[in-house]
């Protein structure tokens, strides 16, 4: 039996595993994250995939932090593998920890596989996340995408690797999900084929399409393809962090000035940044999360889909 608490952050779901997860042994959260990915992929798929979940869901396995200044350690994963950081899931985790009575309103630190992030839990279900240092690796990269032609974009890190582009096949709206997803999948495939990667050969697993905002209250809009084939319902915390790094380097946004990023479902994050120590930016991402369920996942020996439905 696995005990979970589900939430959504600006529409994007998170499933926090609070009890019954695999024993990942000793070490830093990064070391234990590696063990989860290498030795427990069946567990990750069984808790996230249909029939218990769906492929847009992100899992957050609570673990003991290795650092005394952190209230919790967490490993984020989706049905494809681990995520380094996850902005929406960190907001969901903060609200969940509040719901569990493990933290109160105010500032706390969380250990993730890619570094420590700071969260501030506010009274109105909103959370501000001070993310890891984010930076642009390559500007104006051109890639030939089968069926679409040359697409130009930036490669940037916001806790995960992103290809960010203003090129898009249609408007960024919910009724165009099929075309947006097909285009983004083709871009990712073309990047792989062309050998375009993040630092140290890392897979660019997220594609972020950008446009002007639909609402007067927002600065820009995005559609983000996550590592499988699912899109982010929220404006994607790590994707927004990568975007902050690009805006800062292009001189389009000063430190401390607010930027509002809108998602393809019209939900928003409020963003700003401070200069980082290594030439990048330290983004702050603010959004709201709401707990939607508290449940025990049950697994029956005779259930042919106990491990989830996979291709």
Give the residues lining the site for ligand PYC (CB under 6 A).
Answer: 12, 58, 83, 86-88, 160, 226, 232, 234, 236-238
271, 260 in Cβ contact below 8 A?
Answer: yes
**Nearest residue (CB) to ligand PYC, 84 versus 148:** 84
Query: Could you confirm whether 236 is annotated as catalytic?
Result: yes
Rounded CA-CA distance 116/85 in Å is 10
Q: Which is nearer to ligand PYC, 86 or 204 (CB)?
A: 86
Helix axes 29-39, 41-48, angle to 10 degrees: 80
116 or 193: whose CB is closer to ligand PYC? Answer: 116
Q: How far is the CB of 12 from ligand PYC (least distance, A)?
A: 6
Report helix, strand or coil for 220: strand
Q: What is the distance, to the nearest Å, from the Cα of residue 128 to the centroid of all Cα atoms in its chain?
A: 15
Q: How far is the CB of 195 from ligand PYC (least distance, A)?
A: 24
In angstroms, what is the minimal distance from the CB of 232 to ligand PYC?
5
Report which of 156, 132, 116, 94 is spatially closest to residue 30, judged by C-alpha positions.
116
CB 147 to ligand PYC: min, Å: 25
CB of 233 to ligand PYC, least distance (A): 9
Half-sphere exposure of 111 (CA within 13 A, CB side): 19
Q: What is the dihedral of CA 147, 57, 242, 84, to 10 degrees?
A: -110
- CB nearer to ligand PYC: pick between 181 and 306: 181
Minimum CB separation from ligand PYC for residue 303, in Å?
Answer: 28
Distances (CA, A) of 130 to 27, 77, 282, 286: 24, 20, 7, 9
246 is catalytic: no
Establish how many alpha carbons lie within 13 A of residue 8's alpha carbon, considering only the half-sphere containing its beta carbon.
11
Q: Measured from the CB atom, is 17 or 83 closer to ligand PYC?
A: 83
Question: Which is catalytic among the residues 44, 70, 86, 226?
Answer: 86
**Which CB atom, from 111 or from 232, has the smaller least distance to ligand PYC?**
232
- Cβ pair 37, 22 in contact under 8 A: no
Bridge partner list, 186: none
Distance, in Å, from the CA atom of 292 to the CA atom of 285, rounded to the nearest integer, reads 22
Say which of 236, 240, 246, 268 is annotated catalytic: 236
The residues annotated as belonging to the active site are 86, 236
């Amino acid at each position: 039996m696995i005990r979970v608490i589900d939430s959504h952050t600006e529409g994007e779901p998170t499933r926090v595993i609070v009890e019954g997860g695999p024993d990942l042994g000793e070490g830093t959260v990064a070391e234990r994250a590696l063990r989860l990915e290498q030795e427990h992929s069946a567990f990750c798929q069984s808790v996230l995939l249909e029939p218990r979940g769906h492929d847009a869901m992100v899992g957050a396995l609570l673990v003991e932090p290795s650092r005394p200044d952190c209230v919790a350690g967490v490993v984020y994963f989706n049905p494809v593998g681990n995520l380094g950081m996850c902005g929406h899931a960190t907001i969901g985790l903060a609200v969940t920890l509040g719901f569990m009575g493990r933290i109160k309103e105010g500032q706390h630190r969380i250990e993730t596989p890619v570094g420590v992030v700071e969260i501030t839990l506010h009274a109105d279900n909103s959370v501000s996340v001070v993310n890891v240092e984010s930076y642009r690796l390559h500007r104006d990269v051109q890639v030939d995408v089968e069926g679409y032609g040359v697409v130009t974009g930036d490669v940037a890190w916001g806790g995960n690797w992103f290809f960010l582009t203003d090129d898009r096949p249609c408007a960024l709206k919910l009724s165009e999900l099929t075309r947006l997803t097909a285009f983004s999948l083709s871009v990712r495939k073309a990047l792989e084929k062309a050998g375009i990667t993040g630092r140290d050969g890392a897979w660019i697993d997220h594609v972020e399409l950008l446009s002007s905002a639909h609402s007067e209250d927002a600065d820009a809009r995005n559609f983000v393809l996550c590592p499988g084939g699912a899109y982010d319902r929220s404006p994607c915390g790590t994707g927004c962090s990568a975007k902050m790094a690009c805006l800062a380097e292009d001189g389009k946004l000063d430190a401390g000035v607010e930027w509002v990023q809108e998602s393809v479902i019209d939900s928003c994050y409020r963003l700003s940044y401070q200069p980082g120590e290594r030439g990048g930016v330290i983004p702050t991402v603010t959004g709201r999360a709401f707990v939607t369920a508290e449940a025990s996942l049950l697994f029956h020996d005779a259930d042919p889909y106990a491990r989830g439905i996979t291709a």
